Amino acid sequence: MLKGTVLLPGDKSITHRAIIFASLAAKTSRIEGALLGEDCCATIQCFQQLGVEIERVNTTTLVITSPGVEQFQQPEQAIDCQNSGTTARLMMGILAALPFQTTLIGDESLQRRPMQRVAQPLRQMGAQIQLSQTGTLPAVITGQRLQGITYHSPVASAQVKSAILLAGLFADGETIVYEPEQSRDHTERFFAELGFEWQQINQLTVRVTKHQRKWNFPDCYHVPGDISSAAFWLVGASLIPESIIEISHVGLNPTRTGILEVLDQMGANIERQEIDFSGEPVGKLIVKSATLQAINIGGAMIPRVIDEIPIIALAATQAHGQTCVSQAEELRVKESDRITQTVQLLKQLGAEIMETADGFIIDGPTPLQNQGVYDSFGDHRLAMVLAIAEAYLAVPMHIKRRKAYCVSYPDFETTLTMLQQEARISGINLKK
Ligand code: S3P
């Protein structure tokens, strides 16, 4: 049983962007509710190397004092984006326009991920970017004067879209990006909040023109909780009998709430209250355990649940019927190949799961069992899938690279222990 109230970490995507936009403006800004996990710290370090002063006031607050993007300095060393694809790709969009040379590197996982998808459109804008022979990091970027382009992206990726749009803020003329399906729109919401000249032409098309005024950022910006982190509790509480978890201040941006629609369709018991809507919608979720049904997921839903698919797969092992995830080949180029690795881990747990080229098929429900040594492959989301499976099984599992969750959810283990303890206390009180 899991019981209690969860204080979520700040949204990872929004924290990256808040750090970026606050750093571009010549002023002091405060970011509250920020996620200071390893990924966002890579973005912080990146701007520190460019000459921005960033102070951590406490575990969720940053104070950023920037001389402004016009004063950024060539970093003395290569910038290490660590495990963070968002840092590497979004920074490429900005660095492509700055008048010096930068080198971006990353950890073993990031050095395997495709960067051509960003470098290629940026080169069309006039950028000079050199990648490895296989189109990966390290990237050597020599800033140039950029020209706006119209780009039809072959992938629905907010990182690709955002890199081009960020470059578009520095490029002459206008820049238009079309996507095959809508990806998360946090960059565009910042454009609206910061008064940039831009337009959402339709759901799949965004236009931006060169930013020629003073760069601005609010004195204080508050980051909502991360729904992708909440997903682990939504599935955990759904699967573990008699659970009830309240999750407050969670971001409910419609480009991210696919997990709620998927779990709703699966028969989950989730109550949703929308509380605040300023820039990013925010609300509260209450989840109770439920019997789940199988579901088909594909098409426009995929970008809206892209980071939640591994934990949805765990839910599907306990759902009645056949779950089919298709058109999700993007998962193969995440922090790990999340199709192959999810299938391997769930098979090892006893699930009936079959890998396909662009997803997987799961037959449920099957009893799960703890057998052998599990490995997160250093992928934060897979580490949390395994920890939720462990809580569900209620037996300790041997999980290698268990702490990979620190990339996006440093307090994950502490929160899980708290929810288990509260459940035990309420169980004792019930018996009394
Ligand atoms: C992100 C976009 C998504 C997501 C990633 C964060 C972002 O990746 O998987 O965790 O902040 O823009 P893609 O843009 O590659 O789809």
Residue 220 domain-assigned? no
Structural domain total, the chain: 1
164/42 Cα distance (integer angstroms): 20
Residue 78 domain-assigned? no
Catalytic site residue from 80, 307, 375, 379 = 307
Residue 264 domain-assigned? yes
Give the mean pLDDT of 345-372: 97
Residue 271 domain-assigned? yes
Model pLDDT for residues 61-99, shown as the tens digit of each residue: 999 999 999 999 999 999 999 999 999 999 999 999 999
Q: Is 86 in the pocket of ligand 1 (CB under 6 A)?
A: yes
Model pLDDT for residues 7-19, shown as the tens digit of each residue: 999 999 999 999 9
Q: Transcribe 11-34 into DSSP letters.
A: PHHHHHHHHHHHHHSSSEEEEES-
**Residue 432 scores a pLDDT above 70:** no
Q: Is 159 in the pocket of ligand 1 (CB under 6 A)?
A: yes
385/341 Cα distance (integer angstroms): 11
**Residue 428 scores a pLDDT above 80:** no
Residue 55 domain-assigned? no
Q: Which segment of 33-47, 50-64, 102-116, 414-428 scores lowest on mean pLDDT?
A: 414-428
Full residue range of the structural domain in which residue 374 is found: 225-431
Give the mean pLDDT of 165-175: 98
pTM (predicted TM-score):
0.97
Task: Using only the alpha carbons of the chain, give its radius of gyration.
Answer: 21
- 172 tagged catalytic: no
306/330 Cα distance (integer angstroms): 8
Residues 6+ apart with CB under 8 A from 411: 9
Closest CA to 7 of 426, 418, 288, 382: 418
More confident residue, 337 or 426: 337
Give the mean pLDDT of 389-414: 96
Residue 67 domain-assigned? no
CATH code assigned at 295: 3.65.10.10
pLDDT of 142: 98
Nearest CA to ligand 1 atom 3: 158
Residue 23 domain-assigned? no
pLDDT of 258: 98
Closest CA to 39 of 334, 385, 398: 334
Confidence bin at 431 (pLDDT 50/70/90): low
Q: Is 307 in the pocket of ligand 1 (CB under 6 A)?
A: yes
Q: Is 157 in the pocket of ligand 1 (CB under 6 A)?
A: yes
Confidence bin at 430 (pLDDT 50/70/90): low
Q: Transcribe 138-176 into DSSP letters.
A: -EEEE----B--EEE-SS--HHHHHHHHHHHTTSBSEEE
Give the mean pLDDT of 306-328: 98
Residue 284 domain-assigned? yes
Q: How far is the CA of 158 from the centre of ligand 1 (A)?
A: 5
